Structure 1
């Protein structure tokens, strides 16, 4: 699998190989592989609040990862995750009634995990953060089928005087927290939830940029124009519209993981984290 983002060529085998190569001198102590199952959800222009839990927008997510121990209480984790985000302004009670989207997301990430402390030697709460690259493609339902929105240019993208079409491959910063529970010397159960700070406002194809409806209709076609303002019964051809709100786009992934130790010997408890000020309870 290969993804091209501007002048950066990204491939999963190269990504994993680079991680292992850079960390090889320190990663031999603890190596685990694991799988994750959980949920994904969205927050952004089509959300009624910047931070909230909208159960109607929750969708399944899954992933796989490799974790490499570094030092007493720190680990590097390389993973791939897949999920779907969706929102409907009508269901969320917004004035932008008629705007909705869904987008499948594939994410490749490298994050660091820091154990904060231990509870009973087998439970370790942790925080994580790092970098990720993800692929998305917002779609909207039209006449009983789903239409990809980015190629349409619903806010005039690609026309003279407007921004270029946004890239469907973007960078993100994963941030979150979780807890790891040792079920045995070889098996770890994890619970985790985290958000992704994005550098695009087009996860939902909606931004705060203004556009002229007549420009979209003439330059990008009737379908682009109809999907740009489905909540306006009679759009003004010369009118300037802005669909987005004050909220940045985020997506979230949370779930349960199960990981299996491949190397590093037996382990009866988490390290206490001595030397970095982490208490043991």
Structure 2
């Protein structure tokens, strides 16, 4: 089942005139639901609204945060998976036009699946990554949005599978570290926690925002948004990835370097505490 423009219906083929399919003319949010509650609801909603404005989509007057929440929860309740679920809302311009759309009015589609656990846990199994250098992320505002054009992530995922890697690290056109295929990247060097700034082309991640806020409350940790070079990764004490579904995923190996998971453990604990308090 899906939620298409507010109507719960059986899943069906997307029409061939759909602009998200034809041109990648769409943006999306992936949210985690626990016990009937959307985690980080405000952050997801306001990022979606900001993204719609950037790409010149018309935001309907009734597309409030309460409506956004209601539509997602309607679907997960119908599917009886509200205890723990992953939902994706994709917003796209209505059919019509070629590169120039005939309208900036939007449609949306929501789909959802059940998740196995409610809280965030940490996976310390071997997780090896390497650089993906076939294509590069451009340093521009569009790179920070969750658009339906994810060809770099797709080809990078195929490269990772072909080479026995758990993930790949993406670089920008200045050959600096941007993020991973499925999330933002953080580097621990001494008492410093560093992540690339959004201006480098990094996704403006929801979990990235939570981790930055939580880490600033950890005594003895300096938090910074700085440019990271591939060479810096090999000097790091710890590397981990973040996204709203997984939480924190430690990187155990990059090339010949193996990493600790100390701060990742602490931040997962604090993340779960912050969720239970809200």
The structure whose RCO (Cα within 8 Å, separation 6+) is larger is 1
Give the TM-score, by structure 1 length: 0.22
Flag the structure with higher strand content: 1
Give the TM-score, by structure 2 length: 0.22
User: Bigger radius of gyration, 1 or 2?
Assistant: 1
Flag the structure with higher helix content: 2
